[in-house]
A and B are shown apart, each in its own frame.
Chain A
Amino acid sequence: MKSKVVIKLGDDISTDAIYPGRYMATVLPTETPMYAFMDYKEFNSKLVNKQVPANSVIVANNNFGCGSSREQAASTLKGWELIIVARNFARIFLQNSCNLGLRTIICPDIEANENDELEITDTEIVNLTIGKKFAIEPLPKARQAIIDAGGLIAYTRKKLMEKNAA
């Protein structure tokens, strides 16, 4: 799959940056996307004006999603069908993303800038613009199981039915 980098971010991008606390009373996944990166006015307006196609990539350094447990930070990005590539992620954000089906890719050595074209496979990211390859670190197996089940709602539903049948 080929994707374009829509924005390049640094270290410690917090959930306050992704989805500011003042919008937390909004909870529906159908409503949260409009507030994504609200304090990054240019990026937010690109998203809201539908100038960012599905499967576009946010590239970040370390500790993406640090801070709050707010699930809106994952649902707001899922709403635009973005892919997040980071050197590593904060725990709760990574878990929320797997639970909701937001695609998060751990790529410890990623080098990419805005507008670079990436080819993403299961095991590596090829930056076609600079002609370099970067290995993908597999998600922890506990999280992969939830993704494979189609998200945590479906996974829980299956467990619940099994429990009730027993």
Chain B
Amino acid sequence: MGMTIVEKILARATGQTSVKVGDVVEPAVDLAMSHENGALVINQFLEVYKGTGLEPNVWDPSKIAIIFDHRVPAESAKTATNQKKIREFVAAQGIKKFHDIRSDEGGICHQILPENGYVRPGYVVVGTDSHTTSHGALGAFSFGIGATEMASVWALGNVLNVEVPGTIKVVINGDLSPFVSPKDIILHLIGKLSAQGANFKVIEFHGTAIRKMSTSGRLTLCNMSVEAGATSGIVPGDEETLRYLREEAHVKENIETILPDKDAVYEQVVEIDAPTLSPMIACPHTVDNVKSVDKVLGIKVNQIVIGSCTNGRLDDLEIAANILRGKKVAKDTRMLIFPASWKIYKEAMGLGYLLDFVNAGAIVMNPGCGCCLGVHQGALGDNEVSLSTTNRNFKGRQGNANSDVYLCSPAVAATSAITGVISDPTKGVN
């Protein structure tokens, strides 16, 4: 019987010829990523070693990555102290894949990992962040875990007791219409599957639309796969994967892609006809409350957010800059731009996009998670509405339980910034 990609990766990572859905395995980890919550991982890691008489040293410092992004620069003394504790640990353990709050190395973890070539096809990647699903875009099996589970990985180098997940195959064929993007595909898919439709499963992406899609778009798809409950999203590695890793991430080593067998067994197959898709929007307060944008036109928007690990890459900023160039953000609407990394920030600066944003009245923020998780950098007032290219709209997500968050693509966000109300980019702006 043939195997899916995730079955093949888990077989390789456990030294077996095959595994099947439901098997309990303990795969070796190729990359273990944390951010500021590394402070909690350190506590739990030290706890594991208590009373053992063993020195608390991580299994392999070269396979651990720590990126500060959730609260940068620190919004409180507590965060600053957590970050300080992590810096000291990283130095003591010799962890080199550490990205501090600096414009020559920093950014959001889910952008820094691909950008630096830390993720390769076939890898087992774990991260103390639910959007670790992103890295499936490069053909890895990549999933979110809790801090104690990460402490266990730091100690042993394996994830304990993983059940081999079943796979949903999603086939997307055809070309997307103008102003329709990978974000609209994934919102459509989440609406179709529901917020729990892929719980404990992997989503494997196929079809001509995927083959033509940039790694940036694939990252958007895999990033939000978790919003349907998926353990991971995954795109089979192809020429584009190799191009991205060679040209953009400057990887020199041999790269081996892992593909599913032709007779792999899937639990469900979902087909999407790309040309029929229109701009989509996830309405409050669940990510699966998805509608076509033209069903909610005209809702007044107080804050527009473009950026995040979902849609803060150069092509996202390009779409927004092309719409905003020479125009103004509507009165009574504020607009925040969060590039996903400083590399992207500098590229966007060189191409003039940042100036386009600033001339339009938008504020270009420092790369990081920003207001997405409701900590700082753009809180909402009572009864205010945010239209955001981020990935979650749960009640209170952006810091105020008495506010509404809508999720959309960069094109919808930029168009709506000009009008001040939810607008359809395919209809243009007068």
Which residues of A are in contact with B by a Cβ distance under 8 Å? 11-12, 14, 16-17, 20-22, 24-28, 39, 62-63, 66-72, 74, 88, 90-92, 95-96, 99-100, 140-143, 145-146, 151-153, 155-157, 159-161, 163-164
**Complex alpha-carbon distance, A142 and B48, angstroms:** 20
Would you call A159 and B160 a contact (CB within 8 A)?
Answer: yes
Would you call B394 and A16 a contact (CB within 8 A)?
Answer: yes
Measured as residues with beta carbon below 8 angstroms from the partner, the interface class of chain B is 35 or more
Q: A21-B374, A25-B82, A27-B37 are in contact. Are A12 and B48 (CB under 8 A)?
A: no
- The residue on A at minimum CB distance from B153 is A156
- The residue on A at minimum CB distance from B127 is A69
Would you call A156 and B151 a contact (CB within 8 A)?
Answer: yes
Interface flags for B178-194 (1: CB within 8 Å of A; 0: not) read 00000000000000000
Q: How far is the CB of B14 from chain A (nearest CB, A)?
A: 14
Q: How far is the CB of B203 from chain A (nearest CB, A)?
A: 13
**Complex alpha-carbon distance, A112 and B401, angstroms:** 26
Task: From the candidates A63, A74, A91, A160, name the one contacting B155 in the complex (CB within 8 A).
Answer: A160
In the assembled complex, which residues on chain B have CB atoms less than 8 Å from the CB atom of A25?
36, 71, 76, 78-79, 82
In the assembled complex, which residues on chain B have CB atoms less than 8 Å from the CB atom of A146?
160-161
In the assembled complex, which residues on chain A have CB atoms less than 8 Å from the CB atom of B44?
153
Would you call B130 and A21 a contact (CB within 8 A)?
Answer: no
**Complex alpha-carbon distance, A152 and B200, angstroms:** 20
Q: How far is the CB of B38 from chain A (nearest CB, A)?
A: 10
Q: A26-B78, A142-B162 are in contact. Are A153 and B129 (CB under 8 A)?
A: no
Would you call B196 and A152 a contact (CB within 8 A)?
Answer: no
Task: From the candidates B52, B130, B149, name the one contacting A67 in the complex (CB within 8 A).
Answer: B130
Q: A157-B48, A160-B48 are in contact. Are A63 and B156 (CB under 8 A)?
A: no
Task: Please provide the 8 A-B residue pairs with the shortest distance between their CB atoms, ordered closest to farther.
Answer: A21-B373, A142-B161, A96-B146, A27-B40, A39-B401, A63-B196, A156-B152, A71-B146
B399 CB-CB contact with A under 8 Å: yes
Interface flags for B384-395 (1: CB within 8 Å of A; 0: not) read 000000001011
Would you call A99 and B148 a contact (CB within 8 A)?
Answer: yes
B218 CB-CB contact with A under 8 Å: no
- The residue on B at minimum CB distance from A140 is B163
Q: How far is the CB of B285 from chain A (nearest CB, A)?
A: 9
Can you name 17 extra interface pairs (CB under 8 A) apart from A62-B196, A71-B37? A12-B195, A16-B397, A17-B395, A22-B375, A27-B43, A63-B229, A67-B130, A69-B130, A69-B144, A72-B40, A91-B200, A92-B146, A99-B148, A151-B148, A153-B44, A160-B48, A160-B54
B220 CB-CB contact with A under 8 Å: no
**Complex alpha-carbon distance, A26 and B396, angstroms:** 18
Q: A27-B37, A157-B52, A161-B52 are in contact. Are A16 and B196 (CB under 8 A)?
A: no
Chain B 30-46 interface residues, beta-carbon cutoff 8 Å to A: 36-37, 39-40, 43-44
In the assembled complex, which residues on chain B have CB atoms less than 8 Å from the CB atom of A152?
148-149, 152, 160
**Complex alpha-carbon distance, A152 and B160, angstroms:** 9
**Complex alpha-carbon distance, A140 and B92, angstroms:** 38
Would you call A28 and B43 a contact (CB within 8 A)?
Answer: yes
In the assembled complex, which residues on chain B have CB atoms less than 8 Å from the CB atom of A140?
163
